[in-house]
Structure 1
Amino acid sequence: MAGLEIPAWDPETALLIGAILLEAIALYVGYGGLERVFGPYLMRLLIGGEASAQ
């Protein structure tokens, strides 16, 4: 049957996919931390007034 075959994984391909996933997780956590630290300051700077703390 066409389209139902299980592809053979090349170790290099699996390593590349793993590296991309780890990079995506690191960027997600890193940018989230930066937003948490600098977000209120930037909102006050750009908009003026107080940013609501949540």
Structure 2
Amino acid sequence: MFGIETLEGSAAAVAQVGFVLAEAMVLYVVYGGLTSAVGDHITDAVRSA
């Protein structure tokens, strides 16, 4: 998908680790934003139920 399969050896390993770290950072930012945006509303809804 990203051409990582065409790399060999250490280059493939570095590319894969970089991809995983980038994905983790994106997920961290997105989940943090969602938590900030709707976290209080969900907590209030659960407490009042």
Using structure 1 for the length normalisation, give the TM-score.
Answer: 0.69
What residue is the counterpart of 1:3 in the other structure?
A: none
Structure 1 outlier segments of 4+, above 2 Å:
none
Structure with the larger helix share: 2
- Structure 1 unaligned blocks of 5 or more: 1-8, 49-54
Using structure 2 for the length normalisation, give the TM-score.
Answer: 0.75
Q: Is it true that 1:10 corresponds to 2:5 in the alignment?
A: no
What residue is the counterpart of 2:3 in the other structure?
A: none
Q: Deviations over 1:25-54 (max 9, x none)?
A: 001110000000010110110013xxxxxx
Q: Higher relative contact order at CA 8 Å, sep ≥6: structure 1 or structure 2?
A: 2
The structure with the larger Rg is 1
